[in-house]
A and B are shown apart, each in its own frame.
Chain A
Amino acid sequence: MAPETGEMRKRTFVVTRFDPDKDQVPKTQTYEVACRPDWKVLDALNHIKDEIDPTLSHRWSCRMAVCGSCGMNVNGEPKLTCKTQLADYGEVVEVEPLANFPIVRDLVIEMDGFMEKFKSVKPWVIVAKEKAAEEGPNRQSPEELSAFKQFSMCINCMLCYAACPVVAKEPHFLGPAAIALGHRYNMDSRDEGAAERNEVFRGEGTVFHCSYANECTEVCPKNVDPAAAINQAKLNAVVDWAASFVVKRNG
């Protein structure tokens, strides 16, 4: 059934506002918006920006749940606002910036903390000897592909960081998306860098901070299942650590 049917509906949006040059702390501002029945939360925010209050800042781009820009907390839950139907909500919709991140302005959060953790797991193919393009592609069976494919689906929307109770309390924790990405490379048959990544996984941001709350998986819009990745990574990290006493390694 197409969602465009139905009536326009007036809703009240309670939106977090923060301008560091004017505000000591974040506050909220309320907007009344007449919403079309098929609108997502993002459509309402864009309407507010275009027609009601051009000073509202928020990130968005693809509007089809693949770029990861538009993550925010809606009525307390981390959501991709381009994918979140207003039809699922009542009259009042609270929109806050993504939880657990420092707030730059209104609904825009500081992303560089995530980018640092992201880079620290060395999310690239590590091989002893690089191949030339002329040698052709590596072979990889569909089974080998499926060992990591799910974990490669992450759009870096950071909803998992907004849901994780450990991220809320432990600033060093690498976090779900970064670990899932590192694990994705560890499980890729073309990669030879698991030893290096497992050292990172046992380091200051250790995967063992995770206590399997599974909230990350619950909120992930792309079914990456980061909780599975983290807990698989724990096993790999332990086995790798034990093996390092038995098998001599380079570098």
Chain B
Amino acid sequence: MMESFRHDVIVVGGGGAGLRAAIAAVEADPKVTVALVSKVYPMRSHTVSAEGGAAAYVEGKGDSLEKHAYDTVKGSDFLAAQDSVDYFVEQAPLELTRLEHWGCPWSRNDDGTVATRPFGGMAVPRTWFAADKVGFHMLHSLFQHSLRFDRIVRYDEHFVTKLLVDDGAVKGVAALDIRSGAMRMFQGRAVILATGGAGKCFPFTTNGNIKTGDGMSLAYRAGVGLKDMEFVQYHPTGLPGTGILITEASRGEGGYVLNAEGERFLVTRDYGVGQKAELGPRDMISRAEILEIEAGRGIKGPYGEFVQLDLRHLGEAKIMAKLPFVRELSKIYAGVDPVHEPIPIRPVLHYMMGGVDTDVRGATPLPGLYAAGEVACVSMNGANRLGSNSLTECLVFGARAGREAVAYGRGASDGQEARLRAAAEEEGARIDALRGRKRGSEKIAALRSEMQTAMESGCGVYRKQESMQQAVSDLARIKSRYDDIALEDASKVFNTEILAALELGAMLDVAQAIAVSAAHRTESRGAHACRDFPQRNDRDFLYHSMVFHEESGPRLDKKSVTITRFQPEERKY
């Protein structure tokens, strides 16, 4: 008999958003218990790798909530839902303050107040930071704080394979206990997805191995639309080959971006960033780098061409005080000491602005299903995200989703256990049949690599209609070949091959959604830069694109943008 666990709220994913949602849920009601179901132990979540900082309005620096909102909306190329941006900027300082109370070691000014640093696209330095390891400190502070609550029950290394829907509402999940290989059932009134993005759909990414879009695929398959999927952010300063992130803070502290000739091309040539130069928004800088490389001013290396990030003029003292992790990463993974040499960098896939369709409450159109963090698209980041907004986003919308899920649960009922159990057992049988299934002609690693190649050529920094359509058809073919994969490992205990297979399935859903959305949007906006349609077209394309799952293939739709205060204007810096 399959093991079943009942909790009021089920949080899938134990990173910044998931932990914050769990904490908010148990704080909202002293009787609520939360299941925190994560495929890794929470401190391994990819939030840990964020480096630069978390943005929030600061007093006394000429900042205002309106300025933060405007920066965010302009950065989004006017595609952000302005009501959620307003909610975000108002909650941001409260959330970062809460984290400080919970022990997060924010870097300080001499007078003991929290220090802030300049960041890309922000008019005022409002980015709180913890040396250059903010994600690490935030995640560990959140996780350690969550340990106080016995009502947050963790199910570590459990991989959710399916949402259990009963009577038109989500009433639980089916999850694979990675350790024993047994399928387990979790029943609850609400499920919050906090599973992050899907950078591993691409070959060069800052993202870790676990970022495979599992939650996006779960919602997609349950009938929820994925919103704005074409907008994927390329971070301008990643290491060639590994894709390891070199934080934007290195530019915030004064680093220069140079081409092969040592020229500070963001200043000397017109790439639309104006005075902001290296602190322009990420999409513009990534595009500038690609254009420099295409013009022959890049440096050739074993992993492709790259440009340079020069920190030498900052001096060793400043680098060790403000960017010690950057120095460590450069030395270990690029063989370069930034005190003496420029760091090789190129645009790498970093973040997904798009995701599961939610509103400002974190609720999806499917009753009982919520989402927060990178997996969700509120949309707070529209067509392009400003650096240091996403960590705060995890906290603000994680907390909101947690509270909303509890409130919803009070008015909702449990699902019918027999029906849920039947669905979970069916799912268990599916997994058992897949595990160690030797017959088949396709290899997981090969299909994954082909998918990544298709995404790189079709959905790169610059896109062409022709290559996007090619990616769409390539992915459709790869998807059909996925049904024919052969698996070697028949063991039940800690079988990571079946995880790779399930993750590949999720990535193919997400990759297809990205490619199909990208191909239909014949304009350039934010991070979606179309060579055939280089202008922004507000008349025809000022809407969120939606993708729905159907057996015959993804179905496209539109959703209107909530515009309140800031009317779309030309995006110039």
Q: How far is the CA of A248 from the CA of B144 in the complex (A)?
A: 29
Contact (A67, B493) CB under 8 Å given A1-B335, A2-B335: no
Q: Are A54 and B137 in contact, with the CB atoms below 8 A? A: no
Q: Judge if B302 is at the interface, Cβ distance under 8 Å.
A: yes
Interface size for B (C-beta < 8 A) is: 67
Mark out the residues of chain A between 136 and 164 whose CB falls within 8 Å of any chain B CB in the assembled complex: 136-142, 144-145, 148-149, 152-153, 155-156
Contact (A21, B208) CB under 8 Å given A61-B46, A104-B179, A140-B112: no
Mark out the residues of chain B between 485 and 515 whose CB falls within 8 Å of any chain A CB in the assembled complex: 487-489, 491-497
Contact (A21, B491) CB under 8 Å given A2-B336, A54-B497, A64-B49: yes
Q: Judge if A185 is at the interface, Cβ distance under 8 Å.
A: yes
CB-CB nearest in chain B for A58: B496
- The digit string for B262-290, where 1 denotes a CB below 8 A from any CB of A, is 00000000000000000000000000000
Q: Judge if A123 is at the interface, Cβ distance under 8 Å.
A: yes
- Which residues on A sit within 8 Å (CB–CB) of B334? 2
Q: How far is the CA of A57 from the CA of B106 in the complex (A)?
A: 37
Most buried by B among A4, A60, A111: A4
Q: Judge if A96 is at the interface, Cβ distance under 8 Å.
A: no
- Which residues on A sit within 8 Å (CB–CB) of B566? none
Tell which of B110, B147, B303 touches A119, judged by Cβ atoms closer than 8 Å. Answer: B147
Q: How far is the CA of A155 from the CA of B111 in the complex (A)?
A: 29
Tell which of B44, B96, B97, B133 touches A69, judged by Cβ atoms closer than 8 Å. Answer: B44
Contact (A124, B103) CB under 8 Å given A4-B302, A51-B445, A66-B49: yes
Contact (A141, B301) CB under 8 Å given A61-B209, A65-B332, A104-B493: no
- Which residues on B sit within 8 Å (CB–CB) of A115? 41, 156
- Which residues on B sit within 8 Å (CB–CB) of A152? 105, 137, 140
Q: Judge if A62 is at the interface, Cβ distance under 8 Å.
A: yes
Q: Are B110 and A141 in contact, with the CB atoms below 8 A? A: yes
CB-CB nearest in chain A for B501: A54
Q: Judge if B349 is at the interface, Cβ distance under 8 Å.
A: no
Q: Are A133 and B148 in contact, with the CB atoms below 8 A? A: no
Q: Judge if B252 is at the interface, Cβ distance under 8 Å.
A: no
Q: How far is the CA of A4 from the CA of B335 in the complex (A)?
A: 9
- The digit string for B340-367, where 1 denotes a CB below 8 A from any CB of A, is 0000100000000000000000000000
Contact (A105, B493) CB under 8 Å given A66-B48, A124-B148: yes
Q: How far is the CA of A42 from the CA of B281 in the complex (A)?
A: 34
Q: Judge if B333 is at the interface, Cβ distance under 8 Å.
A: yes
Most buried by A among B46, B102, B209: B209
Q: How far is the CA of A53 from the CA of B489 in the complex (A)?
A: 9
Q: Are B144 and A66 in contact, with the CB atoms below 8 A? A: no
Report the minimal beta-carbon distance from B458 to chain A, rounded to whole angstroms.
Answer: 23
- Interface majority SS on A: helix, strand, loop or mixed? loop
- Which residues on A sit within 8 Å (CB–CB) of B329? 64
Contact (A105, B494) CB under 8 Å given A61-B40, A63-B208: yes
Q: How far is the CA of A149 from the CA of B144 in the complex (A)?
A: 16
Mark out the residues of chain A between 97 and 145 whose CB falls within 8 Å of any chain B CB in the assembled complex: 104-106, 108, 111, 115, 119, 123-125, 130-131, 133-134, 136-142, 144-145
Contact (A137, B100) CB under 8 Å given A4-B241, A4-B303, A152-B105: yes
Q: How far is the CA of A104 from the CA of B493 in the complex (A)?
A: 8
Q: Are B101 and A130 in contact, with the CB atoms below 8 A? A: yes
Q: Judge if A225 is at the interface, Cβ distance under 8 Å.
A: no
CB-CB nearest in chain B for A37: B302
Tell which of B105, B333, B493 touches A20, judged by Cβ atoms closer than 8 Å. Answer: B493
Q: How far is the CA of A123 from the CA of B206 in the complex (A)?
A: 30
Q: Judge if A50 is at the interface, Cβ distance under 8 Å.
A: yes
Report the minimal beta-carbon distance from B153 to chain A, rounded to whole angstroms.
Answer: 13
Contact (A139, B493) CB under 8 Å given A4-B241, A66-B133: no
Q: Judge if B423 is at the interface, Cβ distance under 8 Å.
A: no
Q: Judge if A3 is at the interface, Cβ distance under 8 Å.
A: yes
Q: Judge if A169 is at the interface, Cβ distance under 8 Å.
A: no
CB-CB nearest in chain B for A64: B244
- Which residues on A sit within 8 Å (CB–CB) of B147? 119, 123-124
- Which residues on A sit within 8 Å (CB–CB) of B145? 124-125
Show the binding face of B for A, using Cβ within 8 Å.
40-41, 43-46, 48-49, 94-98, 100-103, 105-114, 133, 136-137, 140, 144-145, 147-148, 156, 179, 208-210, 241-242, 244-245, 301-303, 328-329, 332-336, 344, 444-445, 487-489, 491-497
12 contacts between A and B (CB under 8 A): A49-B496, A54-B444, A62-B44, A64-B244, A64-B245, A64-B333, A69-B40, A106-B494, A133-B98, A134-B94, A149-B105, A190-B103
Instruction: Report, nearest first, the 8 A-B pairs whose CB atoms are least far apart.
Output: A139-B112, A50-B445, A105-B494, A55-B489, A62-B208, A137-B100, A133-B94, A61-B208
20 more contacts with CB within 8 A, not counting A104-B179, A115-B156, A124-B102, are A2-B334, A21-B493, A51-B445, A54-B488, A57-B494, A59-B40, A63-B208, A64-B208, A64-B245, A64-B329, A67-B45, A119-B147, A125-B101, A133-B95, A137-B100, A139-B112, A142-B108, A145-B105, A152-B105, A185-B103
